[in-house]
């Protein structure tokens, strides 16, 4: 069984969630920054992902803190490392095309976790393997397996940092795929079927520059 599915079963068991309940099981609110160099080259994507309360409560279990209920960045550092290591297998759920060509990322940098309002917030930067200039960049954020449901933050879901003034952004928010996933049923995800189901509910960001 793929590692993500083993983790899913373990998580559902620990949380006492009915295994018959369909995907998704983790919810993330995403805000991102597209980072430009002074010459207009696109160098990377900086993510801020806020996890749902239930997953956050599970993830911080067993972490020793100086103050009960308060988790510092230093205390969360091992968990941040685990998150980043786990996400590598899934390409960080981040997919980019520049003028129609797929782009690759380097290892993440500047990653850390914060704990705010009972929610874990993961910050990390994905540098592009080869920085580039492009008239149009398409950025998609989604989990193909739909174990994780990504939604863009309502306010400032994408920010251009250092971009040429004439660059424009367009956002395509997906419809809620929960109802469709429930019709398919959990068994059809756990047996390896519908491995690209989440692509139908991808968050799509398009940046167009002159």
Tens digit of pLDDT per residue, the chain (210 long)?
334 433 444 444 444 444 445 578 889 999 999 999 999 999 999 999 999 998 899 889 889 999 988 999 999 999 999 889 888 888 999 999 999 999 999 999 999 999 999 999 999 999 999 999 999 999 999 999 888 899 999 999 999 999 999 999 999 998 776 677 666 666 667 666 667 777 888 999 999 998
Give the number of other CB atoms < 10 A from CB of residue 174. Answer: 18
Q: Tell me the residue length of the chain.
A: 210
* Residue 207, burial from CB neighbour count under 10 angstroms (0-12, 13-18, 19+): buried
Give the pLDDT score at 83. Answer: 87
Q: How far apart are CA 66 and CA 78, in angstroms?
A: 16
The domain locations on the chain are 3-208
């Amino acid at each position: 069984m793929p590692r993500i599915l083993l983790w899913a079963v373990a998580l559902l068991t620990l949380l006492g969630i009915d295994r018959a309940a369909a995907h998704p099981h983790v919810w993330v609110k995403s805000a991102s920054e597209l980072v430009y160099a002074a010459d207009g080259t696109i160098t990377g994507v900086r993510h801020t992902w806020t996890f749902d309360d239930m997953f956050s409560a599970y993830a911080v279990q067993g972490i020793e803190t100086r103050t009960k209920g308060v988790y510092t960045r230093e205390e969360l550092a091992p968990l941040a490392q685990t998150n980043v290591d786990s996400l590598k297998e899934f390409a960080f759920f981040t997919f980019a095309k520049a003028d129609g060509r797929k782009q690759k990322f380097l290892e993440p940098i500047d990653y850390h976790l914060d704990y705010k309002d009972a929610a874990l917030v993961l910050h990390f930067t994905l540098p592009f393997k080869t920085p580039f200039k492009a008239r149009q960049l398409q950025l998609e954020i989604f989990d193909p397996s739909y174990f994780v449901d990504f939604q863009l933050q309502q306010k400032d879901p994408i920010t251009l940092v250092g971009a040429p003034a004439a660059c424009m952004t367009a956002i395509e928010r997906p419809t809620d795929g929960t109802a469709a996933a429930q019709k398919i049923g959990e068994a059809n995800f756990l047996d390896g079927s519908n491995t690209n189901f989440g692509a139908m509910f991808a968050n799509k960001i398009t940046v167009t520059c002159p």
